[in-house]
Structure 1
Amino acid sequence: MKKTILTSVLAIILMVTITSCSSVQVVADYDKQVNFETFKTFAFYKPGIDKAEISDLDKRRILRAIERELMTKGLTKSENPDLLVSIIASSRDKIDVYNNYYGGYGARWGWNPYYYGNYNTVSTSTEGSLYIDLIDAKKKELIWQGQGVGYLNGSNMEQKEERINEFVKEIMAIYPPGRNK
């Protein structure tokens, strides 16, 4: 009975820990000499996007989300853009091993009758990184780069699309520099 309760409590703690890691951590770097208010139009930089090593379906999901976010910021898509948008995406598997000791007082020294022992818990997750690059179309220079890192969860298409939208929204929330979210 005690073992079942303890196992349930540990499982709940592990689940809460894993789900609390679902936020996206974002950072940006940019050229401080650039006046970002002058950029009004954008287009996608096909050569850069083609190099991203993710599925074409995920590329389209990311590009739609970026387009939506840029349009909410007042930019318009154009054949003669001020900004070119490129992406870099990657993922890596993370494996965490937890050594869980449980037992009563004195169990480490072998004299407690309620000693249960040790067991290991292994969890795997996938951490993804998404870089969004904004390039000055006239100068062909990178002027802003946003990066989002977070756990990729979701086994179905809707969850995947929701997570991609979250990544892009969090990254684009810090563009342009100096503007509040």
Structure 2
Amino acid sequence: MKTIKLFSGIMLLAILVGACTSVRVATDYDRQVDFGKYKTFAFYKPGIDKAEISDLDKKRILRSIQYELQSRGYRLSENPDILVSIFTKEVDRVSVYNNVGWGWGWYGYPYWGGGYNSVSTETEGSLYIDLIDAGKKELVWQGKGTGYLVTNGNMAKKEERINEFVKEILAQFPPVTTQVASVEN
């Protein structure tokens, strides 16, 4: 019985830790666009300048985007097919835990023990990556990654987390489009 409880506790901990480290991704795109025509990219400075994060974090994000796109065969160009812009958003999540205990006391009588309250705050961030058709100046693809951020001052972990966000978001680009054949009656 003790091994089942121990195993259950370990599984719960693994699920909670996994939930805190994963990046939730959502994408949207224009279904009328042929994404196969895009071969080159550049960064869209006016959009990037509006992102409300430090210049150092912007550099980290842009380096990661550049690495991911180039590893997929896209080339950085002064005459690009697509422009890359970013947008960020942060939300502080506050959790309050009321820990009250109960158990069996003297002579088999149940007791209700006083507990303690604990409060934790975590920062959840969203990174949007927008891809804009350079010729038409129209948004053609948007990816959003949401997850908890590393804010404890460990720069290596922070950069690793940024790379994870970018990699997970761009894993959805280019979109896999399926053509539905029309059936005539």
SS at match of 1:128: strand
Whether 1:158 aligns to 2:147 is: no
Deviations 1:82-128 (A, max 9, x none): 0000000121111001112212159xxxx946543232221110000
Runs (5+) with no aligned partner, structure 1: 1-9
Instruction: Read off the aligned partner of 1:99 and give its amino acid letter.
Output: N
- Superimposed CA distance per residue, residues 53-95 of structure 1 (whole angstroms, 9 cap, x where no aligned partner): 0000000000000000111111000000000000001211110
Contact kept, 8 Å, 2:41 with 2:83, in 1: the verdict is: yes
- Show the counterpart of 2:145: 148
Alignment correspondent of 1:177: 175
Shift of 1:154: 4.6
**In the alignment, which residue of structure 2 is the partner of 1:132?**
129
Q: Which residue of 2 aligns with 1:121?
A: 118
Whole-angstrom distance in 1 between the partners of 2:125 and 2:40: 28
Structure 2 spans left out of the alignment, 5+ residues:
1-8, 178-185
> With structure 2 as the length reference, what TM-score do the two structures score?
0.82
Post-superposition CA distance 1:2-48 (Å, at most 9, x none): xxxxxxxx9xx779735632200001000000010100000000000
Corresponding residue SS for 1:34: coil
3-state secondary structure, aligned to 1:20: helix
TM-score, reference length from structure 1: 0.83
> Could you say what secondary structure the match of 1:135 adopts?
strand
**2:141 alignment partner AA:** W
Alignment root-mean-square deviation, CA: 2.2
Moved over 3 A (4+): 13-16, 111-115
For 1:160 and 1:112, locate their aligned partners in 2 and report how far apart those are by CA, in whole Å: 51
Structure 2 counterpart of 1:148, which letter?
G
| Identity %, equivalent residues | 63
Quick one: structure 1 residues 34 and 16, their matched pair in 2 at CA, closer, same or farther if it must change by over 3 Å? closer
Aligned counterparts of 1:55 and 1:15: Cα–Cα separation in 2: 32
Q: Which amino acid aligns with 1:144?
A: W
Q: Is the CA contact (8 Å cut-off) linking 2:100 and 2:114 kept in structure 1?
A: yes
Return the alpha-carbon distance in structure 2 between the equivalents of residues 177 and 75 of structure 1: 15
Q: Which amino acid in structure 1 is aligned with residue 53 of structure 2?
A: I
Distance 1:102 1:15 in 2: 24
